[in-house]
Amino acid sequence: MNRSDFERACREQNAEADKRRSDARKDSAPCVVVTMFAFGGIPYCQTHGVMGPCPYGTQRGSK
Ligand SMILES: [Zn+2]
């Protein structure tokens, strides 16, 4: 794989990830939250690509 192939593949992957996230936001997909220990233990929603409290997902059990 040469360099421009690699860069194109990266862009395609990024575009796919962006699309997945915007679809997930529209659909109110359930959050998949991990703790980012590298950033001081703050939560990060992998589904929606949001750091900190995620405003997109279906909130369950709160209140
Ligand atoms: Zn989320």
One-character DSSP codes across 24-49:
HHHHTPPP-EEEEGGGTSEEEETTTT
Query: What is the CA(22)–ligand 1 centre distance, in A?
Result: 11
What is residue 62's predicted lDDT score, i.e. its pLDDT? 47
What is residue 59's predicted lDDT score, i.e. its pLDDT? 57
Query: What is the CA(9)–ligand 1 centre distance, in A?
Result: 26
pLDDT level of residue 57 (50, 70, 90 thresholds): confident
Q: Which residues pair with 22 in a beta bridge?
A: none
Residues whose Cβ atom is located within 5 A of ion ligand 1? 31, 45, 47-48, 54, 56-57
pLDDT in tens, 13-37: 999 999 999 999 888 899 999 999 9
User: How many angstroms separate the most distant Cα atoms in the chain?
Assistant: 53
Q: Which residues pair with 42 in a beta bridge?
A: 36
CA distance 19 to 2: 26
Residue pointed to by tokens 């040469």: 2
Its pTM stands at 0.65
